[in-house]
Amino acid sequence: MKILRTGVLLILLSVMLVVVGGAIGGQNGLKIALAIAVLMNGISYFFSDKIALASSGAKPVTREQVPRLYAVMERLAAKANLPVPKLYVIPEAAPNAFATGRNPHHASVAVTEGLLQLMNDEELEGVIAHELSHVRNYDILTSSIAATIAGAITYLASMGRFAMIFGGVGGGEDDRERGGGLAALLMIFLAPIAALILQLFLSRTREYSADETGARMVGQPYGLISALQKLGAYNQRIPTTSLPPSTAALCIVKPWFGSGTLSSLFSTHPPLADRIAALRELTIVPSRS
């Protein structure tokens, strides 16, 4: 059901991109929209992980530098039958973590120095299991594709607004007489909002799924519950300085940048209280060794 829901959301975003392109520029607009989608998805597929790691200041670390992190990661990766991702540490006091990479064989997990200092072993295990779940479920690739399509829709809408100032939009005078001009105007102003809401809903869905999968990977939800409680408390007091806002959607909890935030309607993360409540309701049958 979760896979089906994700597929439906991606299809809706793709259809919206094509419709926006057609409404704004007719047949040529549709072709431009498709070209933008292919180009941006290609860039996202191959380079989104490198961009996220470089922009956050993440540094690769060895087993000798962070033996506790490697021990947890190697144990959970073996349990989930996954390759061990490349590990990075971000010089950041605010505790957080994110995974990136297009598939399990090209995955990286980055944690902040604050997270390593504040989490006990059980909490660290819960955080790493959550990030490995993103890797196993191909969430990073899915979220990147959704983000690039939503970005393309916003870009096309901006082009449409610019074109409207200098001569109108749509497929021609006949189209406007049949209401095509009105449809194009609606697309220009409403499609970016709809695309953003769909993207955020997809992101929230994947967070709930990673919480559940991570708890089942460990065998109990209590470490992750405690980690989320601690992450929420510290990220309300310690502003994030290294992570850029563009990387915030990847993080296990929404970073605080020391300024006001938008309504929770436009948040990439579900409320922490709701995530913790969902974890408390999980029924996990212990595996027999």
Write out pLDDT tens, residues 175-193. Answer: 444 444 555 555 566 666 6
pLDDT in the model for residue 264: 52
Q: How far apart are CA 170 and CA 185, in angstroms?
A: 9
pLDDT in the model for residue 49: 85
List pLDDT tens digits, range 75-108: 999 999 999 999 999 999 999 999 998 889 999 9
List pLDDT tens digits, range 136-178: 988 876 766 666 666 666 666 666 655 555 555 444 444 444 4
pLDDT in the model for residue 186: 56
Q: Is 74 one of the catalytic residues?
A: no
- Residue with the bigger pLDDT between 249 and 145: it is 249
- Residue with the bigger pLDDT between 268 and 25: it is 268
Q: How far apart are CA 210 and CA 252, in angstroms?
A: 9
Catalytic member of 123, 125, 131, 212: 131
Q: How far apart are CA 5 and CA 11, in angstroms?
A: 10
- Residue with the bigger pLDDT between 236 and 144: it is 236
Percent of the chain whose pLDDT exceeds 70: 61
pLDDT in the model for residue 176: 44
> For the residues 34-62, what does the mean pLDDT come to?
82
pLDDT in the model for residue 98: 94
Predicted TM-score (pTM) of this structure: 0.76
Sign of CA dihedral 141, 142, 143, 145: positive
Q: How far apart are CA 218 and CA 130, in angstroms?
A: 9
- Reduce the secondary structure of the chain to three states and give it as a string: CHHHHHHHHHHHHHHHHHHHHHHHHHHHHHHHHHHHHHHHHHHHHHHHHHHHHHHHCCEECCCCCCHHHHHHHHHHHHHCCCCCCEEEEECCCCCCEEEECCCHHHCEEEEEHHHHHHCCHHHHHHHHHHHHHHHHCCHHHHHHHHHHHHHHHHHHHHHHHHHHHCCCCCCCHHHHHCCHHHHHHHHHHHHHHHHHHHHHHHHHHHHHHHHHHHHHHHCCCHHHHHHHHHHHHHCCCCCCCCCCHHHHHHECCCCCCCCCCCCHHHCCCCCHHHHHHHHHCCCCCCCCC
pLDDT in the model for residue 178: 43
Q: Quick one: residue 240, left, alpha or beta (phi over 0 = left, psi -120 to 50 = alpha)?
A: beta
Dihedral Cα 145, 271, 230, 209, nearest 10 deg: -50
- Residue with the bigger pLDDT between 220 and 28: it is 220
Q: What is the mean pLDDT of the chain?
A: 79
